[in-house]
Amino acid sequence: MTERPATPRLVGRRADVSGPGLSGAVTDLVADCAPDLDEALVVPDCHYPFHPSTGMVTNPDVVEALVEALAASADVTLALPDSEWVQNAPSMLGYEDVADRTGADTLALGEAETVERVVRTDDERHTVTVPAPLDERPVVAVPTLRADPDLAAAMVTVAEAATGSRATTDVVAASAVVDPDFVLLDGTYTYTGAPHRARFLVAGTDAPAVDRAVAPVAGLKPKQVPYLRPFGVGREAIEGLHAEDLAAELPHETTDPNGGEMPEIMGTGFRLYAKVTGDLVPPQFTGGSDD
């Protein structure tokens, strides 16, 4: 681990979504903000095979540019977490091709040995089991900025990679165990209730500071983000970007946490209606699996 500055520094840039305009911005941010690393375990948000243009996952072009920039001075490994939902999600997002093009090694986090750590927060003890490489090696997190509807940025990306969970207690505990040496937040595409080609990047060496700084971009105050509370909810400025200006560019639509699926009360109402009329009940109101 490298020594951290007392006051986290955050640097932002506008950037293209691909090509030289992206790789140049990434290279600048790495040169300006990243600590000297001999090795780096790069962890993107690839929790589900959403198309990168939606902002729901990290743009693989950003990861590729970052791997190339880091590889100038470090041994870079691309850490690919298991998706809770879909087998081979990183592959569907193109990370095997990224590894082929950059020559970076890949590490399937789901196949790695694990270590158990106990984290105490406000007198509550929480045990987390994380892949050993995340505990032992310098981590570089590459989150996207999504609010679906809860904020997911650096700390959630790390927690989902480490524990497969984004529950607040797991995010807090995982962030206490896995402390990235460098964060490059990918805002080329964002999701704040709707996709947006936002064209920005934010770099920093402190994951909670990055999340506090970008929460307003997603329309949230840091104190509205439960997992941030144990790490402080004050906010650092982003050099080169103004969070409120970015927020004004983004859509801030309401995301249905059920993805449009009917709440149970609708099922109860429909079953009652069907009982009265003799109508038939659709499967979403009858319970059971979709297989």
Binding-site ranges for another protein (CB under 8 A): 47-51, 54, 56, 83-88, 91-94, 96-97, 146, 148-149, 191, 255-260, 270, 273, 276-283, 286-291
Closest CA to 154 of 194, 116, 117, 203: 203
Report the chain's terminal Cα–Cα distance, integer Å.
47
Question: Cβ-count burial of 174 within 10 angstroms (0-12 exposed, 13-18 middle, 19+ buried)?
Answer: buried
| CB 249 to another protein: min, Å | 20
Across-strand partners of 146?
152, 191
| CB 267 to another protein: min, Å | 12
| CB 262 to another protein: min, Å | 9
Nearer to another protein, 20 or 273 (CB): 273
| CB 233 to another protein: min, Å | 24
Nearer to another protein, 160 or 179 (CB): 160
| CB 286 to another protein: min, Å | 6
Nearer to another protein, 6 or 276 (CB): 276
Both tokens assigned to 264: 């149970």
Nearer to another protein, 149 or 240 (CB): 149
Nearer to another protein, 97 or 136 (CB): 97
Angle formed at CA 187 by CA 54 and CA 11, multiple of 5 degrees = 175
Across-strand partners of 131?
114
Nearer to another protein, 51 or 242 (CB): 51
Cα(233)–Cα(236) distance, integer angstroms: 10
| CB 255 to another protein: min, Å | 7
Asked if 222 and 235 count as a contact pair (C-beta separation under 8 A), the reply is yes
Cα(22)–Cα(80) distance, integer angstroms: 22
Residue type, 182: F
Both tokens assigned to 64: 């590729």
Count CB atoms within 10 A of the CB of residue 9: 17
